[in-house]
Amino acid sequence: MQPRITPLGDAALLVSFEPLIDVAINARVHALASAIAASRLPGIRDVVPGYAACAVHFNPLRTNRTSLRAAIDAAIDRSAAPAADSDRGSTLDVPVCYGGPFGPDLPFVSRRAGCSVEEVVQRHAGQEYRVFMIGFLPGFPYLGPLDERLALPRRDTPRTRVPAGSVGIAGRQTGIYPVDAPGGWHIIGRTPMRLFDLSAVPPARLAPGDLVRFIPIDESTYRRAGARAD
Amino acid sequence: MGIVVYRAGLLTSIQDSGRWGTQALGVPVAGPMDSWSHRLANLLAGNNPAAAALEITAVGPELVFEEPRTVAIAGAEFEGFLDGARWTTPAVLDARAGSRLVFGARSRGFRAYLAVAGGFDVPTVLGSRATDLRSGFGGMQGRALRDGDRLIAGEGGASRRRPAAAPPPPKLPGNPSSLRVMPGPDEGDGEVFAALTRALFAVAPQSDRMGYRLHGERIPAVAAPYVSGPVVAGAIQVPPSGDLLLLMAERQTTGGYPVAGVVITADLPLAGQLAPGDRVSFEPCGLEEAISALIAREQALLALEAA
């Protein structure tokens, strides 16, 4: 599983593995991102991991391309066999009030998946998810892999505003909107937990490699937790 | 003491050189659309080139100074008045206490940058003063300026000597404008990149600091499998159907569409001067040419700094 290094314009390199949503590939990507960041090469502005590729952003006038390539090659070698426990992130329990006003697409998902609303909730909350990457919005975690039975294409028409805390599903992924934003995922519930807080260090509650469990809660518990969070 | 925003203009925001280092948390870089003119305005005001300045879009603001300050304006061609005296960009002006700075007609380009000696003093958020309009943080409370806002200029004024030489001209849109592009990582067998560099596009009205929608010839969809991954400013995305997307300063950190080409860094400032309706084409470019072009643009600013 040797990655490919391609230019992403003149100010970034993309180090790509096989384009799959896969735990082993994603673990390699995050180990590689940490190894590159640790090299502290002058001129590197940002190291950004995705599902199956990692981008190295640099200032082209402050970076020697040969040493950058050498640093990336060395990081690839160093991170090729991550220690067995190096990829174990922390586990976060995320309370979710499913359905009702908080999960307007739950009935649609239940119809399309051909199972009851209760079973959709059970399947969604019945497993652990890996944080594959953070992207789209500050602190938005891409979680997966989602139960195949619940995998649906995105909504035909994206909503112009999805409220903060909304839990959505799309394909084999599930995610949590950290702020109000437009969005095309099917919204099945909402959490009172704040996932992105600029006054916290780090501001994002979740990091790639972390695990997430969804805990179903009822509306009154949501309201009490929401009141505390405010 | 400060600077009162009497009229805010169409879309005026505080931008420094961008929020680098936190994209792994999903935080966009933001910063100026025309980074070259942003730096020029700072140099003319005697500032650090990365200082926070105003990005002005299409219709400029009207500012009232409560204290004397050196003001520099660069980027799009505007004319305006300082206490009745006409100026045109690029301009270096000395505002007195009570001075009124008015923006008037714009003849070419879309965005101008206004720097005051000492920079604009707003709290840093994740290491930067850049406004991220969509995320709602940075700059002036995470939003564009409004009528009645009050800006504070950095204490101590300018940190550097003001340049003595005449400023170099910015690159402003022609009709059409040509942007140089390097092939993207997902251009497939070269077919998509070839189609991209043959066609003529128009910047659609649904364009903003995040990115431009480009109307024009249909580009064949990229066949290669794709999962969401990191993107850069200048990336030209090919959605399965419809218009191309050119990602700009406030782009997302990751994208869900294949990237057919990437506009070179030296031409991004010109891309940042495009207005909705402007026509644009893409010219193939190699890495060596991209870097030489960047060095040439950089030297114009360095020469000014040294003059």
Q: Which of A16, A40, A44, A46 is the best residue to mutate to test the B interface, defined by the most B CB atoms within 10 Å of its own CB?
A: A46
B128 is a domain residue = yes
pLDDT given at position A16: 95
- Same-domain status, B64 and B116: yes
Sheet of A4-7, strand order: A4-7, A12-16, A53-58, A44-49
**Cβ-count burial B61-97 (b if 16+ within 10 Å, e if not):** bbbbbbeebbbbbbbbbbbbebeeeebebbbbbebee
Positive/negative CA dihedral, A47, A50, A54, A56: negative
Q: What six digits make up the tokens of B257?
A: 């569409």
Domain that holds residue B195: 177-306
Contact A50 B229 (CB under 8 A): yes
Least-confidence region, from A204-218, B120-134, B232-246: B232-246
- Same-domain status, B131 and B256: no
Picking from A51, A134, A179, the nearest residue to B25 by CB comes out as: A134
B172 is a domain residue = no
Contact call for residues B5 and B116 (beta carbons, < 8 A):
no
**Partners of residue B123 in chain A, C-beta under 8 Å:** none
B162 is a domain residue = no
Contact call for residues B178 and B282 (beta carbons, < 8 A):
yes
B168 is a domain residue = no
| pLDDT per residue as tens digits for the range B72-87 | 999 999 999 999 999 9
- Same-domain status, B12 and B98: yes
Residue whose C-alpha is closest to residue A178's, from A196, A190, A198: A196
- Same-domain status, B275 and B183: yes
Compute the nearest-CA separation of A38 from chain B (Å): 13
pTM of the model: 0.93
- Same-domain status, B191 and B262: yes
Check pLDDT > 90 for residue B213: yes
- Same-domain status, B20 and B113: yes
CATH number at residue B80: 2.60.120
| pLDDT per residue as tens digits for the range B183-212 | 998 777 788 899 999 999 999 998 999 999
- Same-domain status, B134 and B238: no
CA distance A156 to B64: 49
- Same-domain status, B139 and B212: no
Rg (CA), chain A: 19
B164 is a domain residue = no
B274 is a domain residue = yes
- Same-domain status, B110 and B198: no
Average pLDDT, chain B: 93
Rg (CA), chain B: 19
B186 is a domain residue = yes
CATH number at residue B260: 2.40.100.10
Non-local CB neighbours of A69 within 8 Å, separated by 6+ positions: A5, A13
Non-local CB neighbours of A107 within 8 Å, separated by 6+ positions: A99, A117
pLDDT given at position A184: 87
The per-residue pLDDT string of chain A (230 residues; one tens digit each, 9 = 90 and over) reads: 789 999 999 999 999 999 988 999 999 999 999 999 998 888 999 999 999 999 999 999 999 888 899 999 999 999 987 655 555 679 999 999 999 999 999 999 999 999 999 999 999 999 999 999 999 889 999 999 999 999 998 887 778 899 999 999 998 999 999 988 888 899 999 999 999 999 888 899 998 889 999 999 999 999 998 766 54
Our count of domains for chain B comes to 2
- Same-domain status, B46 and B93: yes
Picking from B135, B227, B231, the nearest residue to A19 by CB comes out as: B227
Residue A85: Cβ-neighbour burial (10 angstroms; 0-12, 13-18, 19+): exposed
Residue whose C-alpha is closest to residue B65's, from B99, B14, B103, B116: B99
Domains and CATH numbers, chain A: 4-78 (3.30.1360.40), 91-229 (2.40.100.10)
Q: Beta strand A186-190 with B279-284: parallel, antiparallel or unpaired?
A: unpaired
B34 is a domain residue = yes
- Same-domain status, B121 and B213: no
Compute the nearest-CA separation of B130 from chain A (Å): 15
| pLDDT per residue as tens digits for the range B101-116 | 999 999 999 999 999 9
Residue whose C-alpha is closest to residue B41's, from B270, B304, B297, B307: B304
- Same-domain status, B226 and B265: yes
In this structure, what are the phi and psi dihedrals at residue A209, rounded to the nearest 5 degrees?
A: 95, -20
Which amino acid, A182? P
CA distance A12 to A112: 41
Picking from A8, A50, A53, the nearest residue to B232 by CB comes out as: A8
